[in-house]
Protein backbone atom coordinates (compact mmCIF):
# COMPACT_ATOMS: atom_id res chain seq x y z
CA UNK A 1 0.00 0.00 0.00
CA UNK A 2 0.90 3.65 -0.17
CA UNK A 3 1.54 3.97 3.55
CA UNK A 4 1.53 2.02 6.79
CA UNK A 5 -2.02 1.09 7.70
CA UNK A 6 -3.10 0.35 11.26
CA UNK A 7 -6.41 -1.02 12.46
CA UNK A 8 -8.40 -0.32 14.50
CA UNK A 9 -7.71 3.39 14.81
CA UNK A 10 -9.45 3.37 18.18
CA UNK A 11 -10.12 0.53 20.58
CA UNK A 12 -11.88 0.78 23.93
CA UNK A 13 -11.81 -2.31 26.08
CA UNK A 14 -12.31 -3.37 29.66
CA UNK A 15 -9.59 -4.33 32.06
CA UNK A 16 -8.72 -8.00 31.72
CA UNK A 17 -9.81 -8.36 28.08
CA UNK A 18 -7.68 -9.52 25.14
CA UNK A 19 -6.82 -7.10 22.33
CA UNK A 20 -5.28 -7.45 18.87
CA UNK A 21 -3.86 -4.53 16.91
CA UNK A 22 -3.02 -4.95 13.25
CA UNK A 23 -0.34 -3.34 11.11
CA UNK A 24 -0.08 -3.48 7.31
CA UNK A 25 3.35 -2.13 6.32
CA UNK A 26 4.44 -0.55 3.07
CA UNK A 27 4.70 -3.22 0.38
CA UNK A 28 8.26 -4.51 0.10
CA UNK A 29 9.42 -3.18 3.46
CA UNK A 30 11.17 -6.05 5.21
CA UNK A 31 11.59 -4.36 8.57
CA UNK A 32 8.61 -3.70 10.84
CA UNK A 33 8.54 -2.01 14.23
CA UNK A 34 6.06 -1.51 17.04
CA UNK A 35 6.29 1.50 19.34
CA UNK A 36 4.03 2.68 22.14
CA UNK A 37 3.34 6.33 22.92
CA UNK A 38 1.83 7.13 26.28
CA UNK A 39 0.32 10.53 27.05
CA UNK A 40 2.98 13.23 27.23
CA UNK A 41 5.77 10.87 26.21
CA UNK A 42 7.69 10.10 23.08
CA UNK A 43 7.31 6.80 21.25
CA UNK A 44 8.85 3.89 23.13
CA UNK A 45 10.30 0.86 21.29
CA UNK A 46 8.52 -2.46 21.74
CA UNK A 47 9.67 -4.93 19.08
CA UNK A 48 11.37 -5.15 15.68
CA UNK A 49 10.83 -7.74 12.95
CA UNK A 50 13.16 -8.47 10.08
CA UNK A 51 11.06 -10.58 7.76
CA UNK A 52 9.03 -13.10 9.76
CA UNK A 53 11.26 -13.23 12.81
CA UNK A 54 11.36 -10.96 15.82
CA UNK A 55 14.95 -9.71 15.74
CA UNK A 56 14.62 -7.63 18.91
CA UNK A 57 11.73 -7.89 21.39
CA UNK A 58 13.55 -6.28 24.29
CA UNK A 59 11.01 -3.47 24.56
CA UNK A 60 7.98 -5.66 25.26
CA UNK A 61 7.05 -4.71 28.84
CA UNK A 62 6.01 -8.19 30.02
CA UNK A 63 4.69 -11.53 28.84
CA UNK A 64 1.17 -10.18 28.33
CA UNK A 65 2.47 -8.58 25.14
CA UNK A 66 3.20 -10.66 22.05
CA UNK A 67 3.60 -9.85 18.36
CA UNK A 68 3.66 -11.97 15.22
CA UNK A 69 4.41 -11.48 11.56
CA UNK A 70 3.82 -14.94 10.09
CA UNK A 71 4.25 -14.14 6.39
CA UNK A 72 6.71 -11.29 6.65
CA UNK A 73 4.13 -8.63 5.85
CA UNK A 74 1.17 -7.92 8.13
CA UNK A 75 1.89 -7.93 11.85
CA UNK A 76 -0.41 -8.30 14.85
CA UNK A 77 0.35 -7.02 18.33
CA UNK A 78 -1.51 -9.05 20.93
CA UNK A 79 -2.15 -7.91 24.49
CA UNK A 80 -3.58 -10.33 27.02
CA UNK A 81 -5.34 -9.43 30.28
CA UNK A 82 -5.22 -5.73 29.51
CA UNK A 83 -4.52 -3.28 32.31
CA UNK A 84 -5.35 0.43 32.57
CA UNK A 85 -1.64 1.20 32.22
CA UNK A 86 -1.69 -0.32 28.73
CA UNK A 87 -3.72 2.67 27.52
CA UNK A 88 -1.62 4.39 24.88
CA UNK A 89 -1.26 4.93 21.14
CA UNK A 90 0.41 1.92 19.56
CA UNK A 91 2.45 2.95 16.53
CA UNK A 92 3.65 0.65 13.79
CA UNK A 93 6.45 1.59 11.39
CA UNK A 94 8.22 -0.06 8.51
CA UNK A 95 11.44 0.49 6.61
CA UNK A 96 13.03 -0.91 3.48
CA UNK A 97 16.17 -2.53 4.85
CA UNK A 98 16.23 -2.21 8.62
CA UNK A 99 19.92 -1.43 8.91
CA UNK A 100 19.70 0.78 11.95
CA UNK A 101 19.96 4.11 10.23
CA UNK A 102 16.99 3.78 7.98
CA UNK A 103 14.16 6.21 8.12
CA UNK A 104 11.00 4.73 9.56
CA UNK A 105 7.59 5.36 8.03
CA UNK A 106 4.98 5.36 10.77
CA UNK A 107 1.30 4.60 10.61
CA UNK A 108 -1.28 6.83 12.29
CA UNK A 109 -1.45 4.50 15.28
CA UNK A 110 -4.07 2.55 17.17
CA UNK A 111 -5.33 4.34 20.25
CA UNK A 112 -6.07 1.80 23.00
CA UNK A 113 -8.14 2.79 26.01
CA UNK A 114 -8.50 0.29 28.83
CA UNK A 115 -11.34 1.14 31.21
Site for other proteins in 83-112 (CB under 8 A): 91, 93, 98-101, 103-109
Least distance from other proteins to the Cβ atom of residue 52, Å: 16
25 binds other proteins (CB under 8 A): no
CB 47 within 8 A of CB 23: no
Least distance from other proteins to the Cβ atom of residue 2, Å: 13
- Sign of the torsion formed by the C-alpha atoms of 109, 62, 57 and 75: negative
Least distance from other proteins to the Cβ atom of residue 40, Å: 7
Q: Of 113, 109, 97, 107, whose CA–CA distance to 37 is shortest?
A: 109
Q: Give backbone dihedrals phi and psi of 84, rounded to 5 degrees, phi first.
A: -60, -35
Question: Which residues contact other proteins by CB under 8 A?
Answer: 4, 31, 33, 35, 40-45, 48, 50, 55-56, 58-59, 91, 93, 98-101, 103-109
Amino acid sequence: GAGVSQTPSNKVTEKGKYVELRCDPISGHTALYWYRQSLGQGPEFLIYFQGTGAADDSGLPNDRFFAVRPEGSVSTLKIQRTERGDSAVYLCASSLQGTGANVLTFGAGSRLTVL
